[in-house]
Structure 1
């Protein structure tokens, strides 16, 4: 096991923990923003796990940036929707 694989696993675990953390708050409050954060961290965790376990060459990793873009756009849309609801 290399150090890079270990750290990728730790990052994936951190994303999964954050997703569960926000999912718990969404369950208690039913606030859409918490659900968006949970979905975002889940997307980031899955992308990180695929990179760590997939053995994908560097030239073919560009799609990961699209997953990250979708994740951050999810947060932006949720924030805009929350501010618009007021």
Structure 2
């Protein structure tokens, strides 16, 4: 083999290697874009879920407050009911 044959093969091998490197970089960049888009989608989803969770926490607090108020009303109605029954019993036993 002469020097010119070796250099012509080296040019061919260099071109093929350059092509492989460019294809790999394009694939790597594409994969990076896909992962970046997926990460952004997951971040957006986590923000939505966090907002939903905060809204549900506030709703539960509101329902607990309302429940406490209703329990107080029921307790008052039970006291009134007892008083009325006692009053009726006294009227009937006269």
Which TM-score band (shorter chain)?
0.3 to 0.5
- TM-score, normalised to structure 1, is 0.33
- TM-score, normalised to structure 2, is 0.31
From the two aligned structures, give the one with the greater helix fraction.
Answer: 2
Larger Rg: 2
**Higher RCO (C-alpha 8 Å, min separation 6):** 1
